Amino acid sequence: MARAHWRERVQAARVQREADNRVRVRRSVEHRDGARCTVEGRSLLNFCGNDYLGLSQHFAVVGALQDTAAREGAGGVGSHLVCGHHAIHDALERELADWLGAPRALLFGSGFLANLAVLQSLLGDDDVCVQDRLNHASLIDAARLAGCRLRRYPHADPEGAIRQLRTLPEGLAMVATDGVFSMDGDIAPLRELALVTRVQKAMLYVDDAHGIGVVGPDGRGSVAAARLGPDEVPLQLATLGKALGGYGAAVVGEADLVEHLAETARPYVYTTALPPAQAAATLAAVKLARSEHWRREKLVELTARFRERARRFGLVLLDSDTPIQPVICGTDTRALSMAATLERAGHWVAAIRPPTVPEGRARLRVTLSALHTVAEVDGLVAAIAQARDRAEAEARIAELAR
């Protein structure tokens, strides 16, 4: 029997993606200026980034990055446990822990790495991780790499979670969920899940990548919005590259658990530390996120405006009160057509297709920022409605041509 060749496998996968309209294209941003991006020589109004608070280009954040790089250099030099841990890392961890009301925080190079670290350091072959069906890919991959049993429950269904836990009584049990779901924009039922985990003697872990800085009192995220703390959620993930405008992530929570991660988590022990300059930039961003409440207030206003105008035009939305506002298109072809029409009109909105979202649920993932204006949001909604009408006309023509 002949061994398969990698070229054949790669080519077959490419052909299948082309047939399914699921080829992914990487675009190069030549310049960013506020909410605008220059892409292939064209200025586009960006409605697909995660810079929710508009901090990525703030003068205080950029200034902290530049000043620290000038003094300390560009890189992290080594792992945290060798020679890469810097005083500015300590300062950022303390600020994050204080903001989020937890005893300790630990920095990671990315949210993906942080999720791998948490699940791999705590779960093993005899354990179970119960997850929401719409969780981020990093949580799913983390459970698989940990070697534990992975069980999934219907989206935002605490009763589904408890059914899964009841069937697997042995070993350590963890319920892991997104706080704000990145493709639907809704918030997990954390109070109910906290009750489930307490009754079932399981641990609740929340990936709040899209909640930190955006929702909850003082922007402290979905855990704080649910009036929960470290007793109910011993560990949570805070991403530094979304609302905080930088790069990296932190796991915050119980001191003993965080110390366990620092000593045993492979994605922490065996990788280079976050550059001190990046940590300094994020520290400046956290202080702004804590103090400048108008940014979240503006996001709330823009989100309400978008939803009111979208309903007026008959657009199909999901139940989301966050800056993530999916517009359901249905087919991959329709989503791609609408995204292309929007780009020609000067709006950059990503078309999200399976497997990132369920089959038949392709969408435009609109994301709002404090950098946007009311007029820009109104213009976007009108442009989406026009793109929908054009896509529907194209579909009718294609059907008649068959």
Binding site membership: which residues? 24, 111-112, 136, 182, 210, 239, 356
Distance CA 85, CA 170 (A): 38
* Residue 106 φ/ψ region, left for φ over 0, alpha for ψ in the -120 to 50 degree band, beta for the rest: beta
Residue 103: asked if its preceding bond is cis (omega within 30°), the reply is no
> H/E element holding 362?
strand 362-367
Q: Smallest Cα–Cα separation from 237: which of 276, 182, 290, 184?
A: 182
Q: Which residues contact 367 (CB under 8 A, 6 or more apart)?
A: 47, 48, 49, 50, 52, 323, 324, 325
Distance CA 258, CA 255 (A): 5
Indicate the SS3 state at residue 372: coil
Q: Do residues 58 and 262 lie in contact, with contact meaning Cβ atoms separated by under 8 Å?
A: no
Annotated binding site for substrate: 24, 136, 356
Annotated binding site for pyridoxal 5'-phosphate: 111-112, 182, 210, 239
Distance CA 57, CA 33 (A): 8
Placement of tokens 């470290």 in the chain: 230
Distance CA 226, CA 156 (A): 14
DSSP-derived secondary structure letter, 84: I
Is the dihedral angle over the CA atoms 244, 249, 254, 258 positive or is it negative?
negative
